[in-house]
Amino acid sequence: MAIKIYELCGKDETRLFSPHCWKTRLSLAHKGLDWDTIPTQFVDVAGLEGGEKRTVPTIRDGDTVLHESYQIACYLEDQYPDKPSLFNGEGGKELSKFLISWSQGTLHPLVAQLCMLDIHNLLDDENRAFFRKSREAMFGITLEEFDQKFAKDNTNLVKAMLPLENLLKRQPYLGGDTPLFADYVVFGPLQWLRVSASHDVMPKEGAVADWFARLLDMYDGIGRKASAGFTAA
């Protein structure tokens, strides 16, 4: 039986933009598991699978329901030990936890600066109202004011990823010779930007750009096949 995964979308159900969902989507592909995607809009997330405070991604695997991408990865690792490892041991788990903290504290805010209003524009009227109310309460300003605060170029994003650039000059993946969940942690926000932004601000040259391209093409190219907000390489 295929695993169900609830993934965030806008009114175009093919444009799946949540960075956390992409971590889980690539984790499932990494394990070679079958899954069925259930596109889910913002207003429907909290009540998924009978819950009151669900988040995405949420998966159902038989009788098991889980949310939060790292917890899902740990579940997949334990439940399917005969499949390729997402962590290659405890060190891979610790690396993933570090990158989750770094990514959500550094990359996610920079990506949000580049595409927050674009995400709003991907939604239908009901979800736009929900998104606007929640984000404007978070930022204390309108989405338009937030959007106007930041230059639409990738200078700060590229600078923030310099440590990864230096590492990826020496090895093909953050996990070493092959990708691990740690790679998907960083892939997630970059794919969020690629899918959401109406303007092309993706890094074009260097080790990070090459690494991202390799991950886009892995697993039958599921990353590159995703609808993007611009014509991406």
Per-residue buried b or exposed e for 92-117, using 16+ beta carbons within 10 Å of the residue's own CB: bbebbeebbebbeeebbebbbbbbbb
Find the mean pLDDT for residues 40-56. Answer: 92
Q: What confidence tens digit (pLDDT) does each residue in 22-34 have?
A: 999 999 999 999 9
* pLDDT value at 51 more than 90: no
Are the C-beta atoms of 198 and 229 separated by less than 8 Å? yes
Residue 116's pLDDT band, with cuts at 50, 70 and 90, is very high
**What confidence score (pLDDT) does residue 231 get?**
59
Q: Cβ distance 227 to 12 under 8 Å?
A: yes
Q: Give the pairing of strands 3-8 and 35-40.
A: parallel
Q: Which helix (DSSP H) or strand (DSSP E) does residue 133 occupy?
A: helix 125-139
For 3: left if phi > 0, alpha if psi spans -120 to 50, otherwise beta; the answer is beta
Residue-range domains of the chain with CATH: 3-79 (3.40.30.10), 90-222 (1.20.1050.10)
Average pLDDT of span 208-229: 96
Q: Is 49 left (phi over 0), alpha (psi -120 to 50) or beta?
A: left
Residue with tokens 């971590």: 23
In whole angstroms, what is the distance from residue 153 CA to residue 84 CA?
Answer: 37
pLDDT at residue 117 tops 60: yes
Count CB-CB contacts under 10 A for residue 64.
10
**CB within 8 A of 171, min separation 6: which ones?**
177
pLDDT at site 53: 82
Q: Give the sign of the dihedral formed by CA 8, CA 209, CA 228, CA 144.
A: positive
Residues in CB range of 154: below 8 A, 6 or more apart: 114, 201, 202, 203
Does 46 have pLDDT greater than 60? yes
Whether 146 and 116 have beta carbons less than 8 Å apart is answered as yes
Q: pTM score, two decimals?
A: 0.97
How many whole angstroms separate alpha carbon 174 and alpha carbon 150?
Answer: 29
- 123-180 pLDDT, tens digit per residue, is 999 999 999 999 999 999 999 999 999 999 999 999 999 999 999 999 999 999 999 9
Query: How far is the C-alpha of 131 from the C-alpha of 206, rounded, in Å?
Result: 35
Q: What's the whole-number average pLDDT of the chain?
A: 96
In sequence order, what DSSP letters do the residues of 5-20 get, joined into one string? EEEEB-SSTT-B--HH
Q: Where does the pLDDT of residue 201 fall: very low under 50, low under 70, confident under 90, or very high at 90 and above? A: very high
pLDDT tens for 75-108 read 999 999 999 999 999 999 999 999 999 999 999 9
Residue 224 has pLDDT above 60, yes or no: yes
- At residue 232, the pLDDT reads 44
